[in-house]
């Protein structure tokens, strides 16, 4: 190879969309003004400056700085797609080059934050397994480019040539969760009820006693919590569409900011069935999924929302979706339940705690307020643990944990009979070994 | 004690007693500093002598407890290389046994701090895709650490199954 040719190839490559800097500016301006508004509400603001003036300054300042920064980032960011990997070169002063070998890709998502969506732009998120730094973002591309790139990356990740993949993959819709359903579900969840009733009670109390300033200390955190619940459970799950493609399930959701996720079939590490207290009366449940890489970053969108496989569903639909991702699962399996003497550790919860397995999956159930059933396919078992503390030893109890990558799935059997727990661990190791072949 | 934490086959390989020595040194240094500080307080500050006394008693108690803990804890560590999984156990009060199938290992770390190097031991840590695995084996003699690392890497490749 000619010396210097490496540099030459790095200078070519594709650029992200030129409007990136504008979006970046708008995002910064929004962030700056949101920060200022909340500090104005708590009474700080910027010293004695007029609130509107300071708001205008932060808006314009954020816009200009963000645009400047965004322009420079855009100017120095290029990406290259070749036969074996995706390379992203970036950095204004410190140069960074990230290589993403196709076979390491866990999932490829498209996110359209509200501001970017106005300009028809989207962010491409590529997840790899392991570590905090496993997500690579390419922002921003035009929506069509982002979709195209995702198609190419997913095809490459499965070792096929992107030319073989049809430009418009055939997708069949499994279900659309209507916004009304999501709203009803949210209203009937305990934390929403608590936050809403608490806020109303505080406001009424404040008016009744005329002590508005005192009550403000309680209303602001409760109100923020309420707003977060609404944003996370309703706005982000708006128009939730689950569809099926050749390579995995696709989730499209969001009212203001749209997100489009692909969960490849082979990458599912486990599924958690969650049945909150009130929902159980109606037979509703929520499905959350473990995909390596998803939960390791608490970004602006929150950890939970991208792990949600179905925000609200009936048992039959949920079973169908799980069966698609983990063939051969069953929750009706031979069980090892927590013995009665474990009630010292969980006076009520011990009754609802068991682990079990069939030939394909390990299942763990716990919780009496929110019942959680964790399902882990044997061939995804990362490691198995047996634990015992001094108090457990006195009651001949022990805890079993089947480890999965970080995420909502926690397949633990706490406070089981010690000998049974050991038997579960050994049996699980044997099953995991058999499943790996 | 009980057979809950015995390996399913074979016996535990124990770690080097030097681990206890190293930990005792790490405990004795701060205790010694606290005793010195206590003595100084006792001699120099007329009104606050009781603080110096309390400090000395606490530091000595901590040193004795740490001395005993280091020995017991070192003896509790063990590992076993089975046909398909690596097993690691540890803990006296809070016992733990973790089994990691070789094919699940993502990478293996060997590390040794300055004190560990002076005593010729190292810590081998296994990583899987799950952060809960947390399988580290401290106090391995350096040669054994290297052997284990190479062996595990080899087995990991042979059994490798991706994430």
Domain ranges (residues) in chain B? 18-73, 78-159
Average pLDDT over residues A151-160: 81
| Both tokens assigned to A309 | 């496989």
Burial category of A355 from C-beta neighbours within 10 Å (exposed 0-12, middle 13-18, buried 19 and up): buried
Task: Looking at the structure, tell me whether residues A316 and A369 fall in a common domain.
Answer: no
| Both tokens assigned to A356 | 């079990």
Decide: B142 and B112 in contact? Cβ < 8 Å.
yes
Q: Is A7 among the domain residues?
A: no
Task: Looking at the structure, tell me whether residues A113 and A33 fall in a common domain.
Answer: no
Nearest residue of chain B to residue A423 (CA atoms): B4
CA distance A329 to A245: 21
Single out the residue in A299, A323, A347 at which a domain terminates. Answer: A323
Residues of A in contact with B128 (CB under 8 A): 382-383, 403
Q: Is A365 among the domain residues?
A: yes
Q: What is the pLDDT of residue B57?
A: 93
Average pLDDT over residues A152-174: 74
* Minimal C-alpha gap between A225 and chain B (Å): 29
Task: Looking at the structure, tell me whether residues A359 and A286 fall in a common domain.
Answer: no
Task: Looking at the structure, tell me whether residues A339 and A423 fall in a common domain.
Answer: yes
Helix/strand/coil for A378: helix
Q: Is B96 on the interface with A (CB under 8 A)?
A: yes
Single out the residue in A33, A53, A76 at which a domain terminates. Answer: A76
Task: Looking at the structure, tell me whether residues A313 and A231 fall in a common domain.
Answer: yes
Q: Is A352 among the domain residues?
A: yes
Find the CATH number of the domain harbouring A426.
2.30.29
Contact at CB, B99 and A292, closer than 8 angstroms: no
Nearest residue of chain A to residue B2 (CA atoms): A393
Single out the residue in A263, A296, A323 at which a domain terminates. Answer: A323
Residues of A in contact with B97 (CB under 8 A): 385-387, 425
- Tell me which residue of A433, A421, A346, A341 sits closest to A385, measured CA to CA: A421
Average pLDDT over residues A235-247: 88
User: Best interface-test mutation with B: which of A295, A391, A403 has the largest number of B CBs within 10 A?
Assistant: A403
CATH of domain B78-159: 2.30.29.30
Task: Looking at the structure, tell me whether residues A213 and A315 fall in a common domain.
Answer: yes
Q: Is A4 among the domain residues?
A: no
* Minimal C-alpha gap between B47 and chain A (Å): 43
Q: How sure is the predictor about A7, in pLDDT bands with cuts at 50, 70 and 90?
A: very low
Task: Looking at the structure, tell me whether residues A176 and A162 fall in a common domain.
Answer: no
Q: Is A9 among the domain residues?
A: no
Average pLDDT over residues A348-369: 92
Total structural domains in chain A? 4
Q: What is the pLDDT of residue B131?
A: 80
pLDDT tens digits, A299-358: 444 445 678 899 999 999 999 999 989 988 888 888 999 999 999 998 999 999 999 999
Residues of B in contact with A130 (CB under 8 A): 106, 127, 129
Residues of B in contact with A269 (CB under 8 A): 129, 163
Q: Is A310 among the domain residues?
A: yes
Task: Looking at the structure, tell me whether residues A201 and A152 fall in a common domain.
Answer: no
* Minimal C-alpha gap between A128 and chain B (Å): 10
% of chain B with per-residue pLDDT over 70:
96
Task: Looking at the structure, tell me whether residues A408 and A319 fall in a common domain.
Answer: no
Please report how the helices A190-209 and A179-187 are oriented relative to each other, as an axis angle in degrees rounded to 10: 60
Task: Looking at the structure, tell me whether residues A285 and A179 fall in a common domain.
Answer: yes
Show the DSSP H helices in A274-377 as ranges.
Answer: 277-282, 315-325
Q: Is A136 among the domain residues?
A: yes
Helix/strand/coil for B160: coil
Task: Looking at the structure, tell me whether residues A179 and A303 fall in a common domain.
Answer: yes
pLDDT tens digits, A200-235: 888 888 888 877 666 677 778 888 888 888 888 888
CA distance A86 to A208: 63
pLDDT tens digits, B75-126: 999 999 988 899 999 999 999 999 999 888 888 889 999 999 999 999 999 8
In this complex, the residue of B94, B129, B159 whose CB is nearest that of residue A382 is: B129
pLDDT tens digits, A123-138: 998 887 665 667 888 8
What range defines the domain where residue A299 resides? Answer: 170-323
Q: Is the pLDDT of residue A77 over 70?
A: yes
Task: Looking at the structure, tell me whether residues A290 and A307 fall in a common domain.
Answer: yes
Helix/strand/coil for A9: helix
């Amino acid at each position: 190879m000619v010396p210097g040719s490496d540099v030459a190839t790095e200078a070519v490559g594709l650029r992200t969309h030129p409007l990136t800097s504008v979006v970046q500016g708008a995002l910064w301006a929004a962030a700056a003004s949101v920060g200022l508004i909340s500090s104005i509400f708590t009474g700080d603001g910027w010293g004695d400056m007029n609130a509107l003036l300071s708001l205008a300054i932060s808006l314009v300042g954020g816009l200009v700085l963000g645009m400047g920064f965004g322009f420079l980032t855009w100017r120095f960011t290029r990406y290259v797609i070749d036969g074996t990997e995706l390379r992203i070169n970036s950095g204004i002063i410190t140069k960074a080059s990230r290589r993403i070998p196709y076979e390491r890709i866990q999932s490829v998502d498209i996110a359209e934050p509200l501001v970017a969506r106005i300009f028809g732009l989207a962010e491409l998120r590529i997840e790899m397994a392991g570590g905090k730094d496993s997500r690579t973002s390419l922002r921003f591309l035009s929506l069509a480019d982002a979709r195209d790139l995702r198609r190419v990356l997913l095809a490459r990740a499965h070792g096929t040539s992107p030319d073989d993949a049809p430009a418009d993959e055939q997708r069949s819709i499994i279900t659309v969760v209507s916004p009304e359903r999501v709203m009803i579900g949210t209203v009937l969840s305990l934390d929403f009820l608590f936050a809403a009733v608490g806020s109303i009670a505080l406001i009424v109390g404040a008016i009744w006693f005329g002590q508005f300033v005192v009550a403000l200390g309680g209303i602001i955190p409760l109100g923020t919590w309420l707003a977060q619940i609404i944003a996370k459970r309703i706005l982000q799950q708006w128009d939730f569409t689950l569809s099926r493609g050749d390579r995995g399930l696709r989730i499209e959701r969001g009212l203001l900011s749209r997100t489009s996720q692909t969960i490849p079939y082979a990458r599912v590490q486990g599924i958690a069935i969650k049945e909150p207290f009130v929902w159980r009366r109606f037979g509703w449940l929520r499905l959350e999924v473990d995909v390596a890489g998803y939960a390791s970053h608490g970004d602006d969108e929150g950890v939970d929302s991208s792990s949600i496989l179905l925000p609200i569903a009936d048992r039959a639909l949920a079973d169908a979706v799980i069966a698609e991702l983990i063939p051969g699962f069953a929750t009706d399996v031979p069980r090892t339940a927590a013995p009665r003497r474990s009630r010292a550790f969980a006076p009520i919860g011990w009754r609802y705690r068991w682990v079990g397995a069939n030939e394909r999956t390990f299942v763990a159930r716990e919780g009496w307020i929110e019942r959680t059933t964790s399902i882990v396919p044997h061939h995804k078992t990362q490691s198995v643990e047996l634990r015992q503390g001094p108090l457990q030893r006195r009651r001949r109890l022990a805890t079993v944990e089947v480890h999965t990558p970080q995420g909502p799935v926690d397949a633990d059997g706490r406070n089981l009979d010690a000998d049974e727990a050991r038997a579960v661990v050994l049996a699980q190791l044997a099953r995991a070994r058999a499943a790996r072949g | 004690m009980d057979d809950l934490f015995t390996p399913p086959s074979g016996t535990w390989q124990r770690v080097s007693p030097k681990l206890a020595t190293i930990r005792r040194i790490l405990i004795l240094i701060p205790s010694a500093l606290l005793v010195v500080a206590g003595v100084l307080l006792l001699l120099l500050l007329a009104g606050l002598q009781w603080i110096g006394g309390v400090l000395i008693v606490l530091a000595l108690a901590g040193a004795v407890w740490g001395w005993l803990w280091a020995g017991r804890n070192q003896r509790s560590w063990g590992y076993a290389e089975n046909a398909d999984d690596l097993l690691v156990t540890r803990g006296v009060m809070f016992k733990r046994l973790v089994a990691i199938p070789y094919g699940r290992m993502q990478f293996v770390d060997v590390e040794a701090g300055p004190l560990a190097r002076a005593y010729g031991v190292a810590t081998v840590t296994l990583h899987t895709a799950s952060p809960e695995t947390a399988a580290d084996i401290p106090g391995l003699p350096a040669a054994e650490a290297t052997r284990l690392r190479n062996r595990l890497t080899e087995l990991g490749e042979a059994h490798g199954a991706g994430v």
